[in-house]
């Protein structure tokens, strides 16, 4: 926020508070009551509501690391190619601890969903023509993490960036579809639930300075304190610790977040 804008905002808020106070004072004086003491905030941030948590809308090119299980086979890439499986998701964080001049810490829960379509190749590579046999794999990555946000840059140094880190447990549900049915091989169903761990490192761009008045209005009207764009590196190892399919990923995630 530029100094000129801050001064303007302060001026508006101060005159608003003062005008209200003076009206009240005059009225009370007329009524014969003693004048009420009016408190004028020099820092408008003190007018903002308290923050309790954050909500993120997430979009990620998800690369299930299925082929990581094998040293000499790439079944996932053969079936679905190199492209990502796009996932979208929601995350809610509870900012349990606000550490002054440091940041916030608390638990978070997230849910994502994404799928990848492909065409199953002919078993006999010499078969002429192209197969149109559809196949699909969908994955539902979920996690419970501890979230640490380093707010000191934004709050104390006026740099509109908030680095953060997340670490915790992941559970991914997946299903492989053959045509329009569940894939089955020797009575083994092509679906599973894998667990593992997940870690995230990212940075959030604070959007409030782009429109401080709107940000203040949002806080007053719906309680949203801050809005961000974020991008993060997301690494997860989700293979039931080697007993199941590796459906973790090593990717980037991006989206928008609000603190409330």
Binding site for another protein (CB under 8 A): 66, 69-70, 73, 75-76, 78-80, 96-97, 99, 105-107, 118, 120-124, 127, 129-135, 137, 144, 146, 168-169, 173-174, 176, 178-180, 183-186, 188-197, 239-247
Computed on alpha carbons and rounded to an integer, the radius of gyration of the chain in Å comes to 26
CB of 217 to another protein, least distance (A): 30
Which of residues 158 and 189 has its CB atom nearest to another protein in the complex?
A: 189
Q: E strand or H helix at 105, and its extent?
A: strand 103-119
Residues in the chain: 260
Q: How many CB atoms lie within 10 A of CB 206?
A: 21
Determine the 3-state secondary structure of 79 from DSSP: helix
CB of 223 to another protein, least distance (A): 22
C-alpha to C-alpha distance for 77 and 162, rounded to whole angstroms: 36
CB of 233 to another protein, least distance (A): 20
Angle (CA) 170-171-173 rounded to 5° is 145
Which of residues 13 and 169 has its CB atom nearest to another protein in the complex?
A: 169
Which of residues 170 and 258 has its CB atom nearest to another protein in the complex?
A: 170
CB of 36 to another protein, least distance (A): 25
């Amino acid at each position: 926020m530029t100094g000129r804008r801050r001064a303007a905002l302060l001026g508006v808020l101060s005159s608003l508070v003062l005008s209200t106070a003076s009206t009240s004072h005059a009225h009370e004086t007329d009524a014969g009551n003693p004048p009420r003491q009016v408190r004028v905030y020099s820092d408008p941030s003190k007018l903002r509501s308290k923050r309790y948590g954050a909500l993120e809308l997430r979009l990620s090119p998800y690369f299930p690391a299925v082929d990581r299980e094998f040293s000499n086979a790439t079944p996932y890439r053969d079936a679905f190619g190199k492209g990502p499986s796009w996932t979208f998701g929601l995350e809610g964080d509870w900012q349990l601890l606000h550490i002054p001049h440091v940041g916030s810490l608390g638990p978070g829960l997230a849910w994502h969903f994404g799928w990848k379509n492909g065409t199953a190749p002919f078993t006999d590579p010499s078969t002429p023509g192209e197969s149109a046999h559809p196949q699909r794999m969908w994955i539902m990555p979920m996690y419970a993490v501890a979230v640490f946000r380093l707010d000191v840059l934004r709050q104390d140094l006026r740099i509109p960036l908030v680095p953060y880190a997340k670490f915790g447990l992941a559970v991914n549900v997946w299903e492989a579809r053959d045509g329009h049915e569940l894939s089955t091989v020797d009575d083994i169903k092509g679906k599973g639930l894998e667990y593992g761990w997940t870690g995230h490192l990212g940075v959030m761009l604070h959007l409030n300075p782009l429109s401080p008045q709107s940000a203040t209005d949002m806080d007053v009207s719906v309680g949203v304190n801050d809005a961000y764009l974020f991008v993060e590196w997301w690494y997860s190892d989700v293979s039931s610790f080697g007993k199941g399919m590796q459906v973790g990923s090593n990717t980037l995630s991006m989206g928008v977040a609000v603190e409330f």
